[in-house]
Amino acid sequence: MVLDPRIKEFSAGVLSAFVSINVTYPFTKLIYRQILTQSSFQVALWEVRQEGLRYLYRGIGPPIIQRSTELSVMFGVYKTAEMALHPLKLSMYDEKVASSAISGVTESFLCPLERVMLLLIDSKNHSKFKNMGHALFILVRDYGPKELYRGYSAILTRDVFHNTFFFLMRDELSGLVKCHEHKLQENFQNFLVGAGVGLMMTTLFYPIKVVKARMQKRIGGRFVSVPQSVTEIYKDRGRGFRNFYRGIGMNVVRSIVAWGIANTSYEFFKRHL
């Protein structure tokens, strides 16, 4: 039985995300700890070690659901949009950009999962929220459904630009490195493509991650816009642009590994489904 190309894309995205998240979640936790507490890598690592294995994977539920759905939507909606736009006879570049933007907008509606993940990672909330379900319930009960979409504008901006960049650069890098058919070499090439795109994306879009984290760490009260958050971050600790890159070292490592694994897994599952 041959699967519909769109179903194959959705399925490969889900499976590749599951593999990637389980490997890289500890890196994600360290990155957000540095962003949330304005601490160094050494301090964040010490805090996580002090908390022990019990809390190491605390909060992994939302990112597994989020990332699995996210990559499923990212690849599946992209393919669906590409097929729908094809009869319009757009240029290849315009078709890719439009399909990427549509997948990014769709992906941004997963904001509540990203919001809850960040709150569960923050050690200040360990006693406040037991797990993903409890956090969702408390936020909606005490602050209303709107609270789940705090930071949505930053996520929407990131997802649209992120997806567009990914699909354009992945095809470019794939054309450069794919030259052998041997299985091991093919998997290694797919890893290199994913790692290369991940490295470029984290360098370009990391400040948006920091702005989004600043917006989402608040619980209740007024909603702060992206420009207001940018101003706050800039003024922290003596005013400087370094504040937008706190934790980027670990994020570069995580992105290289995560996108390398995700792209390799995605291509593997797509071949075998």
Domain boundaries, the chain: 5-272
Show the tokens assigned to 127. Answer: 């006693």
Taking a C-beta distance cutoff of 8 angstroms, is the pair 241, 164 a contact?
no
Sign of the Cα torsion 224, 228, 230, 236 reads negative
* List of residues 6+ apart from 209 with CB closer than 8 A: 35, 158, 251
Would you state the pLDDT for residue 270? 85
> Of how many residues is the chain composed?
273
Taking a C-beta distance cutoff of 8 angstroms, is the pair 156, 70 a contact?
no
How many CA within 13 A on the CB side of residue 18?
Answer: 8
At 77, the amino acid letter reads: V
CATH architecture of 5-272: Alpha/alpha barrel (1.50)
Kindly list the averaged pLDDT for each block of 10 residues, start to end, along the chain of length 273. 74 85 79 74 78 74 78 89 90 92 93 87 82 90 93 93 92 75 71 91 90 89 90 78 80 86 88 78
Taking a C-beta distance cutoff of 8 angstroms, is the pair 102, 77 a contact?
yes
Q: How far is CA 140 from CA 118, 119, 135, 266, in A?
A: 16, 14, 9, 35
Other residues' Cβ atoms within 10 Å of the Cβ of residue 132 = 22
Distance (Å, rounded) from C-alpha 33 to C-alpha 40? 9
Would you state the pLDDT for residue 178? 67
Which residue blocks in 41-131 are alpha helix, DSSP H?
41-51, 53-56, 61-85, 92-107, 111-121
Would you state the pLDDT for residue 233? 86
Would you state the pLDDT for residue 251? 80
Distance (Å, rounded) from C-alpha 206 to C-alpha 157? 12
What's the predicted TM-score (pTM) here? 0.78
CB < 8 Å & 24+ apart, contacts of 43-51: 44/247, 47/123, 51/123
Longest dimension (CA), the chain: 62
**DSSP-based three-state secondary structure for 57:** coil
Show the tokens assigned to 130. Answer: 């037991």
Would you state the pLDDT for residue 3? 64
